[in-house]
Amino acid sequence: MKNFLFVGLTLILGISGASAQMDGGAPQGYASAALAGGDLWSAYYNQAGLAQIKGVSAGVFYNNAFMIPELGTGGAVVAVPLGKQVLAGSIRSFGYSLYNEGKYSLAYARILGENVRVGVQFNAQTVRIGEGYGRKSVFTVEGGLSYDAGKHVTLSAHVYNPNQARLHTYEDERLPALLRAGARYTFSEKLFLEADVWKPVNHDPQLRIGTEYWIHELIALRAGVSTGAFQSYFGAGVKLGKFELDISSAYHSVLGFSPQLALAYHGK
């Protein structure tokens, strides 16, 4: 019974499924409102942002949802710029021995003109249920664009799994598609505010609002909120040379905290 409760909890709260495939790294501190971002964590949000990377970059993260070990998510990403193009590979794993989701991805991003960036990512995704229930693998695709509409405004859009890849023929079980769009206002190099709308197919839309402020050239503070299963977010980042250490957490009023630790190398 305990095992079924864990699986059910992940499905109800959107930790599993389409929404869960779209978070990771430093942006959790500002509610994962990161469609307009431009660093290696864009591999998990909007691959178009990878095109802004100037040097070889890499990062790892681990998130413990509601401080329940069975609801842990870990991932790693590496991005390599090639002129106006960037290649990136990423992995992520959610769950534990009796229920696990994996995602193994290869992304390509490039700059189009002065103000437009596009990206696409191909994924091999797995779902494994223990005690002899087996394993299923599917292939999915996702992609997005990012457009600088002015000096301070960036508009972004992203679609994940538009063909709703089939997991099982029984009752035509499929991975849900996820449509997202957002806008970021950059007040200065130190401060931005972003609002994103996430729309899983057959589910209500979610609004995510987040902000990041560098109070010092080495220290960032982050905060945000998301609707749906309402959660608030907070976090901080510290630059250590070319490395950045990020600590953040989500908070649900009933289920509690979901802490995360991330470490990134920005080779620029």
Best CA proximity match to 7, nearest among 75, 100, 138: 100
- Cα–Cα dist 158/142, whole Å: 7
- For 2-266, the fitting CATH number among 1.10.10.10, 3.40.50.740, 2.40.50.110, 2.40.160.60 is 2.40.160.60
User: Binning pLDDT at 50, 70 and 90, where does residue 5 land?
Assistant: very low
CB atoms within 10 A of CB 131: 8
The contacts of residue 145 (CB under 8 Å, 6+ apart) are 48, 116, 117, 118, 119, 156, 157, 158
The mean of the pLDDT values for the chain is 89
Is 168 a residue whose pLDDT tops 80?
Answer: no
Q: pLDDT: is 49 or 83 the higher one?
A: 49
Q: What is the pLDDT of residue 83?
A: 87
pLDDT at 172 over 80: no
The answer to whether the CB of 266 falls within 8 A of the CB of 252 is: no
Backbone angles phi, psi at 60, to 5 degrees: -135, 155
Q: To the nearest 5 percent, what fractions of the chain are helix, strand and coil?
A: 15, 60, 25
Q: Per-residue confidence at 171, pLDDT binned at 50, 70, 90?
A: low
pLDDT class of 100 with cuts at 50, 70, 90: very high
Closest CA to 99 of 5, 229, 203, 175: 5
Q: Say how far apart CA 72 and CA 7 lie, in whole Å.
A: 12
Read off the tokens for 265.
């190398």
Domain positions in the chain: 2-266
140 Cβ partners below 8 Å, 6+ apart? 122, 123, 125, 160, 161, 163, 165, 175
Query: Higher confidence at residue 3 or residue 145?
Result: 145
**Please, are residues 45 and 228 in contact by the beta-carbon 8 Å criterion?**
no
pLDDT at 1 over 60: no
Give the confidence band of 2 by pLDDT, cuts at 50, 70, 90. very low
CB 50 within 8 A of CB 119: yes
Give the model confidence (pLDDT) of 208-256 as tens digits. Answer: 999 999 999 999 999 999 998 899 999 999 999 999 999 999 999 999 9
- 3-class DSSP assignment, residue 67: helix
- Of 193 and 22, more confident: 193
